[in-house]
Structure 1
Amino acid sequence: MSVPNQVPIVTYTANGTTASFPITFDLHDERYLVVTVNKERPPVGSYAVNMEDGAVVFRTPPNNGDEVTLARDTVPDRQTNFESYNNSMRPEAFNYDLDKIWHFLQEQNLIDAISLARIKDEIEWRRTHDFNYDMLAQVREKQIFES
C-alpha cells in the first residue's frame, strides 16, 4: 500500500456540542496521535481514540470556540526483526515499516513549513521595526544638528 500525500495535522473549532472529531490522515497506531485543546493536552481519560471510525471522541464535548488539534507524531523506531525462518517477512510487516518511514517524513515536512513561516514572520518583523528605528534615528539626528 502506498502512503498518500497528506498533511498529518488537522485543527477544529469546537461548537460545544460535538464530541467526535475525525482523524483526516493515516494513523496506524494511536500511540502516535497527539491531541490538544487550546494548545494544551487534555487530562488522561477525557477522550478516546476510535481507530475503527477514525475519530477522537471526547467524553464531554469541548467548549464552544475551543481549538481542537489532532496531529500525528510518529516515532522513528523499528521494532520488527525480520527473519527468514519464522514467517516474519510478510507483506503486512514490510508495509507497516515502510509506511512508518513515510509518515515520519511527512511530519518533518510539516515542521519545516512551520519553521519557514516563523522565519518569514521574523524577517518581516525586523524589516518593519528596523525601518521605524531608522525613521526615529533620522528625527533625532535632525533635532541634534538643528540645536
Structure 2
Amino acid sequence: MIAKILWICVMFGVFYTQVSAMGGTLLCYRCNSNQPGCGTPFNWLWFWGEYCLEEGDSCIKLIERKGAEEVITRECLSNLRGFRTDIPADQYEGCRPAAKDVRLGHYVNNSIAQLDIHRDYYDEVTWCFCHFDNRCNSATAIKLSGIVLLISIIFNYFYKI
C-alpha cells in the first residue's frame, strides 16, 4: 500500500513539474499551407507544435482565399502582431473576418502591383482564435487532457483485478 502511495506521489510530482515548467504558455502548431502536411487535411505528425513566447497568447489559424487558392497559416498571435494590421479587435474563441485598415498604404506612391501595400489581394481573410487547449489551431483534433490521462492511470492501477 505504501508503494502505491509513493508511486502516486512520484507521478503527481512529475506531472506538476511538467506543467510548471511550461510557465502557462500555450503550445501551438506553427506552419504554413505551403509546407507539406499543413494544409487541408492537416497532418499533425509532421508538426508537433511549439510554445508561444508571450503569457496569455492565442493560437491562430489564418485562412486567406482568392478564388480557388487558399493559404492557411497556423501560428501564435504574438508572432503576427508585428506586421499584420488586419487582426480583428474581437479576439475571443472562434472565427471572424479580418479587420479593414483604410489607412494602409495610403501615403505610399508605388506603381508595383505585386507588393500588395494595401493588403487587398485576397478576397476573403478569416482569423480563427483559440486560447485554452494546446495545439488547438489544427483543423480537427482529438484532445486528451493530461489530468484525465493521469486519473485513468491511477484508476487502472488501483482497480486492476
Larger Rg computed on CA atoms: 1
Normalization by structure 2: what TM-score? 0.26
Normalization by structure 1: what TM-score? 0.28
